[in-house]
Structure 1
Amino acid sequence: MFLNQFKQVLNENIQGDGKGWTIIDVFGGSGLLSETAKRTKPVAEVIYNDFDGYSERLKHIDDINKLRQEIFQIVDGIVPRNKRLDKALKEKIINKIKEFNGFIDLASLSSWLLFSGNQVATLDELYSHDFWHCVRQSDYPEAGGYLDGVTIIRESFHTLIPRFKGKEKVLLVLDPPYLCTRQESYKQERYFDLIDFLRLIHLTEPPYIFFSSTKSEFIRFIDYLMESKADNWQAFENYKRIAIQASASHNGKYEDNLVYKF
């Protein structure tokens, strides 16, 4: 939802093709922000911190599609979409997964088989849940060219950000998991908690682009920082903000925020 605003902020604050700049996507996720930054500022060095191994999933799209096809054949025409599977079909799918001789992507399996976007950390945890027919009906497209020219690393933000501290023309792109939300899909059991959030605030210095949401009360927190002159409050003084009204469901409305300072 923020890609147009993200590109706008980059173009307003980084001249031309980004020569001399380093843009660090600290919480890389799917790499979408890294990909967008590289296409917007093609000469800048863009670093994608792929802590959750998304680039590995991209390498195995053929296997992911093959397993999707095999699971889809089990449920297609037998169970209506978005309906619970009985024990026999569930067991048949579990056996198919166990027999599969290829890359198994837990995130994709969760999206196909669990109710309402639930996520799990292991296959055993997946097997313990009820299965639903949410299997994607078509293959994922190939990802040729995606992330071309982007430097891919895998490092904790605790050590990544300090390596660039004090260097000129280094932009931190910060899109951490939101506090107070479920985070089972991340690789670490305790991936991003309150202590990590406070550490991130301590490490943040301009220029940065920080994504957050009213789900995590981020705006209230940085306003509190400046009001109380708490740790590293100067980094957020006179910050700029773009807000978008979002909705997870009919009644679940919230506000997404892009906070930046150059």
Structure 2
Amino acid sequence: MDAIKHYTQAPLPFIGQKRRFLTDFKTILNQCIADDGDGWTIVDVFGGSGLLAHTAKCSKPQAHIIYNDFDGYAIRLQNIKYTNHLRKIIFDLTQHVPRNHKLPENVKNQVQAALKSFDGFVDIHSVASWLLFSGQQPTDFHDLIFNHTYFNNVRLSDYPSADSYLNGVEVVSKPYHKLLPEFQNNSKVLLVLDPPYVCTAQGAYHKAGYFGMVEFLKLMRLVRPPFIFFSSTRSEFLDYLDLVIGYKLDGWERFAGYRKINVQVCLNKNAHYEDNLVYKF
């Protein structure tokens, strides 16, 4: 396997990547999986940006790493050259506008025309990070063009090549309910689960709104140790686990004795929440 550059954040913008947990994630892998991971399979079930799969491969290079790319992130990586070309075009159109300021209508019209006429792959999520208010995510190209106010947050430099980011990682694209049964009876398969948080906005995901309470309950019937599960106080995951364990509901043994690591996240002076990493080996 070719050498892998160790990334501490995803090469292209992605809301929800687990940068704050990477140190803890690597510590757990090293504590619970011996040596270089030979004989193990690690499945990043809701792969997102691939950062967890990438980190797992760097930490356990002999393990079989499966990245379930359900959001098309690998395609975005393959088209960085187009994204950089488009960035340069939009940068040239907006560079006279002060940073973080709303684009004047005539400039916005020029940017829209450039997006419509661009002859290549358009990474709408990268474009959104340059033009939309922080955290806003378009649902599709039409939404990006017609339904948002634009600001000048255009990246000042090109994205570097990410050719080695997924080196040695198997990329698949499957619904979780088809992927997980493939590994139900193998004790040397670690499930890494970072699903959309139930009862929170899911606009950044490929199928926004697809992961409601019923989907969550279906998922939990397929989860068994060893697992690493990411959640947040913005959902009720820990309350759910305590309910299942406390009342000894069906399958409670799979979660009894879980461990938790939490990280405080501050969005601004008035908004904060707690991200959680729950694991059991």
**What band does the TM-score fall into relative to the shorter chain?**
over 0.9
Q: Which amino acid aligns with 1:89?
A: V
Counterparts of 1:169-180 in structure 2, within 5 Å, are 169-180=188-199
Distance 2:65 2:100 in 1: 40
List per-residue Cα deviations over 1:69-121 (Å, max 9, x = no partner). Answer: 100111102x2111111222111111101111111001111111111220111
Q: Is 1:3 aligned with 2:22? A: yes
- Measure how far apart 1:180 and its partner are: 2.2
Alpha-carbon offset, residue 65 of structure 1: 0.6
Aligned residue number for residue 128 of structure 2: 110
- Aligned equivalents of 1:91, 1:231: Cα separation in 2: 57
- Give 1:138 shift: 1.2
* 8 A contact 1:201–1:232 mirrored in 2: no
Alignment partner of 1:94 is 2:89: no
May I ask how many residue pairs the two structures share in their alignment? 261
- The correspondence of residues 42-81 of structure 1 with structure 2, limited to 5 A, is 42-77=61-96, 79-81=97-99
Residue correspondence of structure 1 range 91-170 to structure 2 within 5 A: 91-127=109-145, 128-170=147-189
Structure 2 spans left out of the alignment, 5+ residues:
1-19
Structure 1 unaligned blocks of 5 or more: none
Pair 1:209-2:209 in alignment: no
2: distance between equivalents of 1:89 and 1:261? 53
Assess if the C-alpha contact under 8 Å between 2:187 and 2:226 holds in 1. Answer: no
Deviations 1:112-166 (A, max 9, x none): 1111220111111112211111211111111121110000000000110011111
CA distance in 1 between counterparts of 2:271 and 2:137 reads: 19
Contact 1:240 1:261 in 2 (8 A): yes
Q: Which residue of 2 aligns with 1:39?
A: 58
Residue 248 of structure 1 aligns with an amino acid whose one-letter code is L
Look up the match of 1:230: 249
**TM-score scaled by structure 2?**
0.90
Q: Give the distance between the partners of 1:43 and 1:191, measured in 2 at CA.
A: 34
Q: Is the 1:24–1:48 contact (alpha carbons within 8 Å) kept by the matching residues of 2?
A: yes
Give the TM-score, by structure 1 length: 0.96
For the aligned residue pairs, the C-alpha RMSD in angstroms reads: 1.2
Whether the 8 Å contact between 2:57 and 2:63 is mirrored in structure 1 is yes
**Shift in Å, 1:237:** 0.4
Cα shift at 1:230:
2.5
The runs of at least 4 consecutive aligned structure 1 residues that moved more than 3 Å come to: none
**Corresponding residue of 2:48:** 29
C-alpha contact 2:228 2:280 (8 A) present in aligned 1 = yes
